[in-house]
Structure 1
Amino acid sequence: MNTSTSARSGLFLGHRGFRLLFTADAISQLGSQVAVVALPLIALTSLNASPLEIGLLTAAGTAAFAFVGLPAGAWVDRFRRRPVLVAADFSRFLLMGSVPIAALLDVLTLPHLYVVALLAGVGTVFFDVASMSYVPSLIARENLLSANARLEAVETGARAGGPALGGWLVQLTNAVVGIAVDAVSFLLSAVALARIRHVEERPVVVKTRLRRQIAEGGRFVLRHPVLRLVGLAGFLGNFWESALLAVQPVFLLEHLGLGAGAYGLVVAAAGLGGLLGSSAASCAGARIGTRRTMWLPLVAGYPFLLLAPLAGSGWLVLLYPLGTFLAFFGGAMQNVAQLSYRQGICPPELLGRMNATLRFLIYGAMPLGGLAGGVLATVLGFPGSVWMIAAGLLLSILPMLAPAVRHLDESERAAA
């Protein structure tokens, strides 16, 4: 592995390559979380979208994980990862930039938003798979837990600040400005990534059919007693989380009557919980070990999701952000632990395909969950649909309580 001396000493925040990757990720994640508020608000306020159409928009944004998630890993393993990251960011800049242009020309439609969400999702798939496979080439394996904790903190920090910023922008201007901010963030991220000087080793490309390469990654995950449980828990969790994202705008904006600014603050609570949870992940891993960090935070945090459907007028609205804050605190801590574990046990030549297989299993559930959320909101209304989703999220942690995870051999990761 071509790793600098500073990275091996653990001072990777002084490592130029990781610092630029960290910066690029922070910029694009913040812009994307602004769009989390702005995109459904455009659909609701400018295009009069129904709850089912909001569900379809949520599904379109994540459908790429189901359609190209598996081949993306095999393709990424054939190329150096940094050019893939730059190309994915630049393509998303062009796609998201088309929305404010269409709005200015008064030609923006729901099908346009669906197409942009779908194609930007393809860019996100390639970016995420390449990023997770790129980090181990920059950072020594003994530092992966701390490096992933910092990157997870970026994502969850953006989830904390982005929606609040998005709500503020929408309230002061309009939702189109939020999408423009997202587009610019992708361009800035691409520029930062292009400045990384770290020289990646050229992947050794074996002339094997794409289908066979995909199957190798799938076999590695499905035959591993812990990774297949990580995939199952992630599938269930993301299914119900996407359902929540689909009903959340209608529940908070129309059912509870929140304004755009208040909506952004309430949604930001989950990101704030995730930020604090990811920041605590390294300390938790050192104190209680990877094994316990992969399940105990879920048991402690996810039951509080049952507070969300109790939200109402006045001070009762605080029950929603309180429940999501505590749940995502535990979820982010667990996510850092499982990501570091799987990076540590996987052979370098399989990293892209292993990550893509798990992303396919975990994120392939998101379009299904988005559609389910729209259907539940239409059939059950509020708060019935939120009760159903909260119960589903709570049950999604059961695979991580299996003996294979709770009795995980810590030496397996250390030896990897």
Structure 2
Amino acid sequence: MVASARDAFRRLWAASAISSFGTALTAVALPVLVVQVLEASPVQVGIVAAAQFVPYAVLGLIAGVYVDRWRRKRVLVWASAGRAVALCLIPLLWIIDALDISVLVVLLLMFGSLQVFAFAASQSLLPRVVTRDRLLVANTRIDQTDAAAQTAGPALGGGLVGLLGAPLAILVDAVSYLVEAVLISTLRVDEPPPGERGRRNFVHEAREGLAWTCRHRTLAPLSVSTHVWFVANAAAFTVLALFALRELDVTPFVYGLLFAAAGIAMLAGASAAPWSGRLLGAGRTIIAARIAYPLAWAPVAVIAATGVGDSIAIVGLFVAMTLQGIVAGIENPHEMGYRQAVTPDGILGRVSATIRSANRSMAALGALLGGITVAAVGVAPAFVGVVVVFAIAALIAGFSPLRSANHDDSAEPSEGWNGT
């Protein structure tokens, strides 16, 4: 039983790592496609960024209910295959000269809709594969490989964009999702048949996930802080793309290296996550990370406002991305592991989808606000706004019961590999 569960985790882990590599590549290729190939305006850049998150607002609660009704492995397989198709259409339409901003937005809405179901399923499937006392370790391993992918992926992405062009480079991400679908399809995991989950009123089921999230003593303030954080983070990367690719005129390769630096830092941070948990506990680790985000972006706001030389500005961006990567690597395993530990398995899909839905809705808002702010008042004020919103997220977490939260606050035992 332990051996088969360990094999299941390894397959899930490998699938996550491969798709993370492709996603890291697209993180470079997509902004280059929008800003330089399609020559989008700042507002259009914000709209494209928001399009990836809008489906969460529309489908988040729906996905949560159905993921708790359906077999989560099957949802992941079909969602991965569908995302591959959506990404494949981008270069194909570009080749026949049929790709513009409006078409790209439609494809990203399709991709984002499948992403909603995929995330709810993956977050809910992991506690069926590993025991709840090993969730921090499992999430740390997944985040470490994700960070490794984000180290190599952007650098390779920048090179591929320069060699093949942004649209064709996105094909690599499409292939990664096909590989993920194949790996997940071979996964052996014990899931209750759909009939055993029960069939109740849809609205009632959706309310259960929402109520658990909103009424939980520590999960509620953590969720609110995370929602605000997503506004700041999405705005930050929207403004970053415009600042780096348009005002500083960096090459796709250098732009990819920015994300590679964040990936290296994230790997280091994820490696330190268990140590920080032992030292501070889950809640205090998350709070400390939230405090670090505005500190990372404040120098960038100063650089953009003072108009220093391009070389100094680029160095400042590398410093900000490095610090962002470190704290994200430390924080994310604790946030994911804590949420999975305190939420009963029967509603984990709905709780994950509820939180993810709100997070991505706030990200869509942040991306739009970032583009609109740059168009209205410029890059420097937009970065100042980013720092302020990051600080608000830190204050919400810091003045909450999250300070005493830890992974020992487990909701229930679960079956699966215990990591031994």
Specify the TM-score bucket, using the shorter chain as the normaliser.
over 0.9
Aligned to 1:64: 55
139-148 or 386-395: bigger deviation: 386-395
1:85 aligns with 2:76: yes
One-letter code aligned to 2:171: A
* Paired residues of 2:281 and 2:406 also in contact (CA < 8 A): no
Aligned to 1:346: 343
Choose which of 209, 217, 223 in structure 1 pairs with 2:201: 209
Aligned to 2:284: 292
1:384 aligns with 2:381: yes
343-352 or 380-389: bigger deviation: 380-389
Give 3-state SS (helix, strand or coil) of 1:406's partner. helix
* Paired residues of 2:232 and 2:386 also in contact (CA < 8 A): yes
In structure 1, what is the Cα distance between the partners aligned to 2:389 and 2:206?
A: 30
1:147 aligns with 2:138: yes
- Aligned pairs for 1:96-115 within 5 A: 96-115=87-106
Deviation per residue, 1:351-384 (Å, 9 max, x gap)? 1111111112222211111110110110121222
Alignment RMSD, CA only?
Answer: 1.9
Aligned to 1:218: 210
One-letter code aligned to 1:367: A
In structure 2, what is the Cα distance between the partners aligned to 1:410 and 1:100?
A: 44
Q: Offset of 1:410 from its aligned partner?
A: 6.4
1:227 aligns with 2:219: yes
Q: 1:365 to 1:324 in 2, by over 3 A?
A: same
In structure 1, what is the Cα distance between the partners aligned to 2:406 and 2:35?
A: 49
Q: 1:47 to 1:344 in 2, by over 3 A?
A: same
1:239 aligns with 2:231: yes
- Aligned pairs for 1:154-233 within 5 A: 154-203=145-194, 204-233=196-225
Q: Offset of 1:191 from its aligned partner?
A: 0.9
1:26 aligns with 2:23: no
In structure 1, what is the Cα distance between the partners aligned to 2:394 and 2:349?
A: 26
1:76 aligns with 2:73: no
Aligned to 1:408: 405
* Paired residues of 1:148 and 1:336 also in contact (CA < 8 A): yes
Deviation per residue, 1:302-343 (Å, 9 max, x gap)? 412212232641244211121222133123322211211121
Give 3-state SS (helix, strand or coil) of 1:197's partner. coil
In structure 1, what is the Cα distance between the partners aligned to 2:406 and 2:281?
A: 10
Q: 1:145 to 1:410 in 2, by over 3 A?
A: closer
* Paired residues of 2:225 and 2:396 also in contact (CA < 8 A): yes
Q: Offset of 1:26 from its aligned partner?
A: 0.9
Give 3-state SS (helix, strand or coil) of 1:77's partner. helix
One-letter code aligned to 1:345: V
One-letter code aligned to 2:311: G
Q: 1:328 to 1:82 in 2, by over 3 A?
A: same
In structure 1, what is the Cα distance between the partners aligned to 2:193 and 2:74?
A: 12
Aligned to 1:320: 317
* Paired residues of 2:238 and 2:367 also in contact (CA < 8 A): yes
Q: Offset of 1:113 from its aligned partner?
A: 0.6
In structure 2, what is the Cα distance between the partners aligned to 1:129 and 1:212?
A: 18
Choose which of 359, 362, 365 in structure 2 pairs with 1:365: 362
In structure 2, what is the Cα distance between the partners aligned to 1:199 and 1:277?
A: 32
* Paired residues of 2:239 and 2:379 also in contact (CA < 8 A): no
274-283 or 143-152: bigger deviation: 274-283
Unaligned runs of 5+ in 1: none
* Paired residues of 1:302 and 1:330 also in contact (CA < 8 A): no
One-letter code aligned to 1:153: Q
* Paired residues of 1:298 and 1:327 also in contact (CA < 8 A): no
Give 3-state SS (helix, strand or coil) of 1:413's partner. coil
Identity of aligned residues (%): 31
308-317 or 222-231: bigger deviation: 308-317
In structure 1, what is the Cα distance between the partners aligned to 2:188 and 2:97?
A: 43
Deviation per residue, 1:164-191 (Å, 9 max, x gap)? 2211111122001211111111111111
Give 3-state SS (helix, strand or coil) of 2:207's partner. helix
354-363 or 290-299: bigger deviation: 290-299
The count of corresponding residues between Structure 1 and Structure 2 is 407
In structure 2, what is the Cα distance between the partners aligned to 1:196 and 1:334?
A: 28
Q: Offset of 1:100 from its aligned partner?
A: 1.1
Give 3-state SS (helix, strand or coil) of 2:250's partner. coil
Deviation per residue, 1:23-80 (Å, 9 max, x gap)? 1111111111211211221222222211111110000011111111111110000011
In structure 2, what is the Cα distance between the partners aligned to 1:366 and 1:276?
A: 26
Aligned to 1:136: 127
Choose which of 33, 46, 61 in structure 1 pairs with 2:37: 46
In structure 1, what is the Cα distance between the partners aligned to 2:285 and 2:44?
A: 38
